[in-house]
Amino acid sequence: MIETVNLTKRFDDILAVDHITAQIKDGSVFGLVGTNGAGKSTFLRLLSGVLKPDEGTVTIDGREVYEREDVKSEFFYISDDQAFLNNGTPGDMMAFYSKLYPGFDRSRFDRLLGNFGLDRRRRISTFSKGMKKQLSIICGLCAGTNYLFCDETFDGLDPVMRQTVKSLFANDMEERGMTPIIASHNLRELEDICDHVGLLHRGGILLSKDLDDMKTSIHKIQCVLPDGTGPDSLAALEIVKKESRGRLLTLTVRGERERAEAVMEASGAIFYELIPLTLEEIFISETEVAGYDIKKLVF
């Protein structure tokens, strides 16, 4: 299990990661979502031991990560702009990584290279952005590590390739219990792969929950209330957001589905419907509460 306690990182005057305490359980896909500049990449760089925390700790199974070879050999970090060996070929990368990661699977590497249509002897510098991404994912998967840290990994991959990668991740999770930690702002991509989501905003963590829990604890209600009845009659609901169009009221509320339904029933609503929120909607409403309001940005 990866655990961060009070993890803090500053770059001069900027507080990039602000006292984050989080746990990433083994065997699940952890999605790291957040606003631009929220600190997702910094958080991943701290997890991978590239950066040294200013405060707090990062541990994997209770062992500090920074400058620990034994701990670092348990994960593979794919950065948003992965570097490769100068003038290297995929074959060179395989040789390089296989010296560093004892569990590196060379035959799988060759197989995946073939499946992805990448030439083993072609210089990586001639690859397109997407091909480089594919290669870095192949390297990460074949390294055989328990954890795979991916920073905006799906960026630059075509839809087919994204699905392929997701399948590969699922396969590795099932076969050898790999735990991917994926940072992205593409919430639709994460939605169908993540088990657990950590939402970062301005260096801090707004929430960290199982995606299912998150979806069942926040709902969108569309309703039409009787004449003379206003939203005040729904005070029992924890309303996060409220919008009205004519008589149609759209509410985003926190709490159990059953409880929300009970309140709506009690309010005598002419019509009401509970709609599950997408991850993107959850993200928008949560960050809006934290002051990241689209209206403020636009107007």
CA–CA distance, 117 with 110 (Å, rounded to integer) = 10
CA–CA distance, 33 with 202 (Å, rounded to integer) = 12
Least Å from the CB of residue 61 to other proteins: 15
Residues that bind other proteins (CB under 8 A): 11-12, 45, 48-52, 67, 69-70, 72-73, 77, 79, 81-86, 92, 96, 99-101
Least Å from the CB of residue 17 to other proteins: 12
Q: CB nearer to other proteins: give 15 or 289.
A: 15
CA–CA distance, 15 with 26 (Å, rounded to integer) = 29
Least Å from the CB of residue 151 to other proteins: 9
CA–CA distance, 84 with 42 (Å, rounded to integer) = 20
Q: CB nearer to other proteins: give 66 or 116.
A: 66
Least Å from the CB of residue 57 to other proteins: 17
Least Å from the CB of residue 111 to other proteins: 24
Q: CB nearer to other proteins: give 67 or 258.
A: 67
Rg (CA), the chain: 22
Q: CB nearer to other proteins: give 85 or 270.
A: 85
Least Å from the CB of residue 12 to other proteins: 7
Q: Which residues contact 163 (CB under 8 A, 6 or more apart)?
A: none
Q: CB nearer to other proteins: give 89 or 252.
A: 89
Q: CB nearer to other proteins: give 49 or 180.
A: 49
| Residue pointed to by tokens 């709506």 | 264
**Quick one: DSSP state of residue 29?**
P
Q: CB nearer to other proteins: give 56 or 231.
A: 56
CA–CA distance, 234 with 227 (Å, rounded to integer) = 14
CA–CA distance, 124 with 106 (Å, rounded to integer) = 18
What 3-state DSSP class applies to 183? strand
Which helix (H) or strand (E) segment holds residue 284: the answer is: helix 279-289
Structure tokens at 16: 């990039």
Least Å from the CB of residue 35 to other proteins: 20
Return the closest-CA partner of residue 195 out of 179, 184, 207, 171. Answer: 179
Return the closest-CA partner of residue 65 out of 147, 144, 140, 141. Answer: 147
